Amino acid sequence: MTTRYPKEIIDAARALYLNRHSISEIRTQLKIGSERVIYQWKEAGEWDRLLAFETAEQAITRRVILLAERDPKSAIDIEELERLTAMLTRFEIDKARADKIRAEADALRKQGGECRGDTSKGAGPARKKKGKAKKNDISGITKEALDEFARKTFYEYQLLWREKSRDPQTRRNRFILKARQIGATWYFSFEAFEDATLSGDNQIFISASRDQAEVFRGYIIAFAIQFGVELTGNPIVLSNGAELRFVSTNIATAQSYHGHLYQDEIYWIPGDFKRFHTVSSGMAAHKKWRRTSFSVPSSVNHGAHDIFGGANYNKGKSDKKKVTFDLSHDNLKDGWLGPDKIWRHMVTVEDAERQGCDLFDIAELRNEYGPDEFANLFMCRFIDEAKSVFSLEALLACTRDKDTWTHIQYGKNRPLENRPVAFGYDPSRTRDDGKVALLEIPLRPTDKWRLFHHLTFRNKGFHFQADSILQESMRYKVIHCGVDITAIGWGVFEILEKEGMPGLMPIHYSQEIKNQLVIRAQGIIGYGEGRFEYSTDDIIVTQSFMTIHRQMTRNGSVSYSAHRTDATGHADLSWAIMHGFAYEPVSGPKPKSTVAFSN
């Protein structure tokens, strides 16, 4: 006879699954008779779809942290931790190097070494286990092991960063303009771990969101495992007293900390940057501390550019004493120490490839992104805000740490319960691609639109895209779905219409319609007092809106455009969001909603 489990048990199982517990762990913890039952719940409830709100990197990081904090650990836990840290490493290094890590770890195990008392990847000889290990004990990690690991692991530009961290002339202040996904966060996690291990100095990591800060923490835990050390805690306190702290940009409560400072994606930090910089730099005011900033560029109007571009240095100086800072690629590609004692470096994707990073297919990237997006994301070009319809300042004012959206229960089948939701769909003009924006609709005129999720379809036909939209809609109270019926959008619209998609609105592009979409979005986004929110992690949203430019037509009328050629250009996401906004009249928000709520 099949055992029937109450809803509370199923909900508890789902919550554990979404927090990266394995099926076997769920069975043991909840005393469920069979794993098969849990797999059935997972399939019926589509739990894996709920996990799509995290990136793969964040998902692995979350699981690594969960296992690292578990005490005691079983042999299975240790084996999984090894496997996941190797996976996390593969986000940044090539397959051959990752295979070598695993091969060396396997060889050590076959020799009978204690599983996490060993080291791998040239990290030095295996250490013998001497009783119970001291918490966060890094005493067995030697400088020679760290040097060997770095030499075998990192690319030329990363080794240059390491060299400059030790040079008395350049160690104090480093500011790196970089291409996307070249391994900066990964490398600086190692640098900080290495320094904390050898010197006992504190390390502080500031990120735009808590999720990104957790990526730093996950990397450091992964690096430590390569040396046979398990790290726990937040902050992480090493056995030599060094503290590693991970904070988001809400640093008011963290200003009493002191240590070497790492600031991630500094060009995308929202709010009062001058105040932020005053507080954050004060954490590393003593001359012994390093201050390191690195970022994909945004706009020269962002406050970070006052530092990188030299305006802070020239402020208050007479014209004769002002210095012109050469920010050209030719001057910065090998690094440059400016008169303000900041060492600047620029690493484009082409630079990274020349220096050993073979993770990219640059020709494919050029094909996948419009010219402006590629230049910004991969060639360290600043966005031309003079051409952009939406200002960087206004957009960054709309960003929030999604942890503050406590009413959104991402782990549930209905994350927003009975709150009204708008969908916006934008198809690619040239391929079987598309973007879907999911927006929480404001209930009152003073409430905000909230982008809480978005989907990307690549090389998927309109049947697949329409079916995916319908499946996603079942989890929400959808009262509006704006669909651009251009290209494959017409096929998507017909299927949604046939299946009775609620609030379906066809959007047939014309100059007038396009202008209405942009004008409405300008009103919603506003200029510092907007009615729109999206996650700080979603840099893609900011970039997407900033690629929309104003232009004049042949007859002298104003129109709006973005580079959408050849692929899934990031501008597609901003248009999808605006199709969701189309629920609201151009003249402003609708009267107070009468939607009822039910738990």
Q: What is the CATH number of the domain that holds 204?
A: 3.40.50.300
Task: Please report, in angstroms and rounded to a whole number, the separation of the first and last CA atoms in the chain.
Answer: 33
Q: What is the pLDDT of residues 271-303, one digit of tens each?
A: 888 888 988 999 999 999 999 999 999 999 899
Cα 270 to Cα 208: distance, rounded to the nearest angstrom: 8
In a domain, 112, yes or no: no
What's the average model confidence in pLDDT over 26-44?
A: 86
In a domain, 449, yes or no: yes
Q: Where are the beta strands (DSSP E) in 356-419?
A: 399-400
Q: Are residue 408 and residue 298 in the same domain, yes or no?
A: no
In a domain, 90, yes or no: no
Q: Are residue 310 and residue 407 in the same domain, yes or no?
A: no
Q: Are residue 174 and residue 247 in the same domain, yes or no?
A: yes
In a domain, 537, yes or no: yes
Q: How confident is the model at residue 115 (pLDDT cuts 50, 70, 90)?
A: very low
Q: Are residue 455 and residue 309 in the same domain, yes or no?
A: no
Cα 543 to Cα 560: distance, rounded to the nearest angstrom: 16
Of the candidates 301, 333, 354, which is a domain's last residue?
354
Whole-model pTM?
Answer: 0.70
Which two tokens mark 19? Answer: 């927090």
**Radius of gyration of the chain measured on its C-alpha atoms:** 26
In a domain, 361, yes or no: no
Asked if residue 112 has pLDDT above 50, the reply is no
Q: Which of 123-137, 463-477, 510-524 has the lowest mean pLDDT?
A: 123-137
Most distant CA atoms of the chain, gap in Å: 90
Q: Are residue 267 and residue 316 in the same domain, yes or no?
A: yes
pLDDT at position 7 is 77
Q: Are residue 333 and residue 399 in the same domain, yes or no?
A: no
Q: How confident is the model at residue 109 (pLDDT cuts 50, 70, 90)?
A: very low
Domain span holding position 466: 392-581
Q: Are residue 346 and residue 464 in the same domain, yes or no?
A: no
DSSP state of 74: P
Of the candidates 305, 328, 354, which is a domain's last residue?
354
Q: Are residue 289 and residue 399 in the same domain, yes or no?
A: no
Q: Note whether 451 and 534 are within 8 A (CB).
A: yes
Q: CB within 8 A of 34, min separation 6: which ones? A: 27
Q: Are residue 206 and residue 318 in the same domain, yes or no?
A: yes
The larger pLDDT score, comparing residue 442 to residue 42, is at 442
Q: Are residue 340 and residue 396 in the same domain, yes or no?
A: no
In a domain, 250, yes or no: yes
Which two tokens mark 363? Answer: 């020709």
Number of other residues whose CB lies within 10 A of the CB of residue 316: 8
In a domain, 460, yes or no: yes
Q: How confident is the model at residue 13 (pLDDT cuts 50, 70, 90)?
A: confident
Q: What is the CATH number of the domain that holds 575?
A: 3.30.420.240
Which two tokens mark 182? Answer: 């070249």
Of the candidates 326, 354, 382, which is a domain's last residue?
354
Cα 230 to Cα 1: distance, rounded to the nearest angstrom: 44
Cβ-based burial of 566 (10 A; exposed 0-12, middle 13-18, buried ≥19) = middle
DSSP SS3 for 141: coil
In a domain, 386, yes or no: no
Please report, rounded to a whole number, the percentage of residues in the chain having pLDDT higher than 70. Answer: 81
Q: How many domains does the chain have?
A: 2
Q: Are residue 477 and residue 538 in the same domain, yes or no?
A: yes
Q: Are residue 551 and residue 443 in the same domain, yes or no?
A: yes
DSSP SS3 for 158: helix
The larger pLDDT score, comparing residue 11 to residue 565, is at 11
pLDDT at position 254 is 66
Q: Which of 55-59, 512-516, 557-561, 595-599 is modeled with the greatest confidence?
A: 512-516
